[in-house]
Structure 1
Amino acid sequence: MGNIISGAARAFPDTKIPLEEEFFRNVIEVCGSIYRGEPPWAYVKRSGLYGKGERRIAQMGCAKVLCDSLASLTFSSQADIFCKSPAQQEYALRILQENGFWEKAPAFFSRAYALGGGAMKIYIDGGRVSVDYISAEDFIPTGSGRGGICEGIFGSRFLRGGREFALFERHGMKGGHAVIDRRLFEMKGGSLSCEIPVEEVFGGLSERSEYPSMDVPMFAYFRPAGDNNLSEGSLLGLSCFANCTDTLKALDIAFDSFSREFVLGRKRIIVPSSCIRTVVDPDTGRISRYFDADDEVYQALKCDEEQELKITDNTCELRVSEHVEAINALLDILCFQAGLSSGTLSFNSSAGLRTAAEVKSMETRTEITMQTNRCLAAELIENAVRCIIRCGQMCGALPLEEVNVRVAFSDRQTVDRDEIIDRNIRLVEAGLISRVSAVMAALECSEEDAVRELEKIEKERSLLK
């Protein structure tokens, strides 16, 4: 990942690149490997008499679970987009739909939480507006303004005609309009080789593009809430688990011990030596000793004491509850470090899953964290939609007029249906609401449908009497 720093410095020597190479290498790269399931502690030395080399420990993958949970909480309800012009709103929604925003948003936010940020790059390809989803490892923010990050460098690699290339794009604002500079390099041996003209690979694309009518950056940046305490003054965000790596390691150690408990605790019996047989390998001549568990015939064995023939069960008791309690304690610590309420992540199923309605019903740390990140997510979508509309105006798909965008997350929550039904039953029994209102809430139907349903219920009761 640190290659983007050196590559960007070579592509744009006149640009002041932030001194973030150490942060990329020690934080973003490490968090990326943990998120992908390849943490630094993934392998441990084998133990035992014949243990040689290393073995891969069993992992819980809590880093990805945490990022997916935060992404789900951020995007658990519908994001409603409002534009001043109905034509602009319809156009923006269509472009987002064509580029799979609603399907890709959860994965985008999950990686953004894992790596400390992400960007949505807007571009025009063949007269059509397109959206590219960029992770933090491929983007360097180089400047900020009143509206957030407004300048940055994107790095990407691709294959074309059997050759590998690296493209660097510098996005910025000059004179109140967007400007993009591009540099293209051929890759050899995993490193940048020679610079080649952009037009040689991308026909019709120049090394510099200016957009006089584009008064906003052609990208939108999302940075998770919270201060980057590992790089003071940095424009880069921080992974949601960058300060929790010790807890994640402890969780994997506990889960590995829990998994090996079933291996080491397999059924074992102690048998007298006279019951052990030997067999010779005809190829190697090696003698192996074994106990024939399938032997069901009588055997004449020489022994002085009856106790010598006794077969003893020496199976160890599995410590399941102790491991579960330890893992849940570590999960509570992880929730505390990540700004979530205790019990948001749970290893057992008895506690159940917290629904979004339960989170909304109380002022918890999870609710505060969710609302803070939702505000930043709404800002990301607003900036992206504003850029999409401006690009549509450049392409002639929309008339030139003022752009006014607002994004709000609706209060519609993913609730537990059983919880809704139980609550309405209790309200009816207490005489606080009518049966019609309870049926409307439980079945999500109109008043007419609720009345007809109650009439059917009364008719069935009369027939059963």
Structure 2
Amino acid sequence: MGIVQTIKNIFLRSKYMATTGTLVSLVDHPKIAISHEEYARIQSNLTYYESKWDDIIYHNTAGEKKTRPAQHLPIARTVSKKLASLVYNEQAEITVNNTEANNFIQEVLLNDRFNKNFERYLESGLALGGLAMRPYIAGNRVRVAFVQAPVFLPLQSNTQDVSSAAIVTKTTRSAGESNIYYTLIEFHEWDGSDYYVSNELYRSKNPSIVGDRVPLSELYEDLEEKVRITDVSRPLFTYLKTPGMNNKDIDSPLGLSVFDNAKTTIDFLNTTYDEFMWEVKMGQRRVAVPDSMVKMNVQTEDGDIRFVQRFEAEQNVYQMLGNEERGIGITDLTTPIRADDYIKAINEGLNLLEMQVGVSTGMFTFDGKSMKTATEIVSENSDTYQLRNSIVSLVQQSIKELVVSICELARGAELYNGDIPALKDIEVNLDDGIFTDRNAELDYWTKALASGIVSREYAMKKVLGLSDNELQTIAAQINQEKPNLSEVDRDLYDE
């Protein structure tokens, strides 16, 4: 490093120490271009996804304040998991129309168990509004890190894409009887055509505060403050954004959770379910009895006399006591549980949730009337199918960008010497068999081929879901298996 660059770096570090010496929140950093409201929204999404709710506070029949766990339905997790499983699974195929690049990518993805990991993290991306993927070098391998929404913060960006970002890593170290909380902020930035990765480390004794900036060597001995990366055409990360406009902040480049506009409905479902479960618990048999049948114990505590009634004190419903002088005998006070009303209310809430999320009726309700076959789903152009297609398009684009970044990073680290594939040369085949009636699809493309409006290769590609390389191989095998016919007969055979 030259003297001039060293001096620049010293001034650069001094500038950062002056402007970001102490951070309360990540969004307080001057480089991070996200509002406190957007960051709070992501944290709220995380709460719904984790289903972490405050305890219910109530008063029992003795007038004592009590708490109990809130009964809830894991609605947010269920919605995200269901959609993720419809979009991606381990049968997905990622291929490059370049033999050398394809062999390298297949090795990287296989060693890193990419398909298995991506299916799992896609659920988080849909729940929290986005997911970033960043390749990195580990030994002599390229691996892929999945960066979830709470620790991926945009820098310079527009509403179409995120070109610069901060990636946050948190570490806890024990220091005697207390803990020290470290926050590493990794900045990915462009300076003209140059791409830089810089690092800042913060330390705090309070887990809710980022803390004071400290030297990197305090936790990472070999990590440099700033590194210039050459020969890259795009950022060393790819950001997968959920489909649709961010109507919570129209200027934000971040996506919305798939349930962001359905939180009030989720609250209604959880409240209704909690009341239903509590009514079941409180629905045990209860009777009013004459006073003479209620045992009273006298307890002496510090000289005081206390009368204790022997019935369930934890009841939050008033317990009546009869009086023999008024002619009141044993009376059954048990009331029927309003199971049908609660179940109907929950199903109505689920119907509303389906509309707000954008899926077809019957996706989450179980009334036995809304089940449809795959053919009906496709032929009716259902909401679920449309939503899945929107997510699939973004997933495919994101994975293609990731493949390019993997190749560029690997070539810079001398782990790959081939050409960098273009996006158009990368194919991501996501199995949509759950939505597709194979017999109907084969019949459709067979008729299209017979009418002469598509080529045989195109029909094969659509029906079998083949890549270009696989299509060429199978077409060559078919040609070899044809009988030895004259040219005229061969033309008829092809027809």
How far apart are 1:61 and its partner, in Å? 2.1
Query: How has the CA–CA distance of structure 1 residues 394 and 249 changed in structure 2, closer, same or farther, with 3 Å as cutoff?
Result: same
SS at match of 2:266: helix
Query: How has the CA–CA distance of structure 1 residues 177 and 153 changed in structure 2, closer, same or farther, with 3 Å as cutoff?
Result: same
In 2, Cα distance between equivalents of 1:335 and 1:71: 16
Q: What is residue 430 of structure 2 aligned with on the other side?
A: 409
Of 125, 136, 148 in structure 1, the residue corresponding to residue 161 of structure 2 is 148
- Show CA shifts across 1:343-396 (max 9, x none): 2112x4746877877644541111111110111111121112221222222333
The one-letter amino acid paired with 1:123 is: Y
Q: Within 5 Å, which residues of 2 pair with 1:87-236?
A: 87-144=100-157, 148-159=161-172, 162=175, 163-176=180-193, 178-190=195-207, 191-199=209-217, 201-236=219-254
**Kept after mapping to 1: 8 A contact 2:130/2:148:** yes
Q: Within 5 Å, which residues of 2 pair with 1:52-451?
A: 52=65, 54-75=67-88, 78-144=91-157, 148-159=161-172, 162=175, 163-176=180-193, 178-190=195-207, 191-199=209-217, 201-281=219-299, 286-290=306-310, 311-346=330-365, 348=366, 350=368, 359-360=377-378, 362-403=380-421, 404-413=425-434
In 1, Cα distance between equivalents of 2:73 and 2:50: 12
How far apart are 1:127 and its partner, in Å? 3.3
The one-letter amino acid paired with 1:114 is: A
Query: How has the CA–CA distance of structure 1 residues 354 and 155 changed in structure 2, closer, same or farther, with 3 Å as cutoff?
Result: farther
**Kept after mapping to 2: 8 A contact 1:73/1:356:** no
SS at match of 2:156: strand
The one-letter amino acid paired with 1:180 is: V
How far apart are 1:18 and its partner, in Å? 2.1
Query: How has the CA–CA distance of structure 1 residues 357 and 132 changed in structure 2, closer, same or farther, with 3 Å as cutoff?
Result: farther
Q: Which moved more, 1:228-237 or 1:53-62?
A: 53-62
The one-letter amino acid paired with 1:326 is: A
In 1, Cα distance between equivalents of 2:138 and 2:221: 12
The one-letter amino acid paired with 1:409 is: L
How far apart are 1:337 and its partner, in Å? 0.7
Q: What is residue 27 of structure 2 aligned with on the other side?
A: 5
SS at match of 1:69: helix
**Kept after mapping to 2: 8 A contact 1:393/1:399:** yes
In 2, Cα distance between equivalents of 1:120 and 1:238: 18
Matched, 1:32 2:49: no
Query: How has the CA–CA distance of structure 1 residues 78 and 259 changed in structure 2, closer, same or farther, with 3 Å as cutoff?
Result: same
How far apart are 1:267 and its partner, in Å? 1.4
In 2, Cα distance between equivalents of 1:349 and 1:102: 34
Of 20, 33, 44 in structure 2, the residue corresponding to residue 18 of structure 1 is 33
The one-letter amino acid paired with 1:187 is: S
Query: How has the CA–CA distance of structure 1 residues 77 and 395 changed in structure 2, closer, same or farther, with 3 Å as cutoff?
Result: closer
SS at match of 2:170: strand
In 1, Cα distance between equivalents of 2:325 and 2:352: 60
The one-letter amino acid paired with 2:289 is: V
Query: How has the CA–CA distance of structure 1 residues 151 and 304 changed in structure 2, closer, same or farther, with 3 Å as cutoff?
Result: closer
- Show CA shifts across 1:60-94 (max 9, x none): 12122112222222225732111122343233233
SS at match of 2:224: coil
The one-letter amino acid paired with 2:203 is: E
How far apart are 1:328 and its partner, in Å? 0.6
Q: What is residue 461 of structure 1 aligned with on the other side?
A: none
- TM-score normalized by the length of structure 2: 0.71
Q: What is residue 18 of structure 2 aligned with on the other side?
A: none
- Show CA shifts across 1:92-143 (max 9, x none): 2332333343333233222222221121122113332222211111111223
SS at match of 2:164: strand
SS at match of 1:78: coil
In 1, Cα distance between equivalents of 2:90 and 2:380: 17
How far apart are 1:280 and its partner, in Å? 4.1
Q: Which moved more, 1:62-71 or 1:160-169?
A: 160-169
SS at match of 1:209: strand
The one-letter amino acid paired with 1:369 is: L
In 2, Cα distance between equivalents of 1:96 and 1:357: 33
In 1, Cα distance between equivalents of 2:74 and 2:340: 21
Query: How has the CA–CA distance of structure 1 residues 317 and 220 changed in structure 2, closer, same or farther, with 3 Å as cutoff?
Result: same
**Kept after mapping to 2: 8 A contact 1:178/1:218:** no
In 2, Cα distance between equivalents of 1:263 and 1:74: 40
Q: Which moved more, 1:254-263 or 1:200-209?
A: 200-209
Query: How has the CA–CA distance of structure 1 residues 147 and 213 changed in structure 2, closer, same or farther, with 3 Å as cutoff?
Result: farther
CA RMSD of aligned residues (A): 3.4
In 2, Cα distance between equivalents of 1:341 and 1:108: 24
How far apart are 1:44 and its partner, in Å? 4.3
In 2, Cα distance between equivalents of 1:171 and 1:20: 19
**Kept after mapping to 1: 8 A contact 2:183/2:202:** yes
Give the unaligned 5+ runs of structure 1.
Answer: 10-14, 292-302, 421-465
In 1, Cα distance between equivalents of 2:155 and 2:371: 41
How far apart are 1:180 and its partner, in Å? 1.0
How far apart are 1:247 and its partner, in Å? 0.9
- Show CA shifts across 1:164-219 (max 9, x none): 32211111334545321112223343444443343553333321122212222111
Q: What is residue 426 of structure 1 aligned with on the other side?
A: none
Q: Which moved more, 1:272-281 or 1:216-225?
A: 272-281
Q: What is residue 462 of structure 1 aligned with on the other side?
A: none
In 2, Cα distance between equivalents of 1:22 and 1:168: 20
Q: Which moved more, 1:121-130 or 1:233-242?
A: 121-130
Query: How has the CA–CA distance of structure 1 residues 194 and 210 changed in structure 2, closer, same or farther, with 3 Å as cutoff?
Result: same
**Kept after mapping to 1: 8 A contact 2:351/2:361:** yes
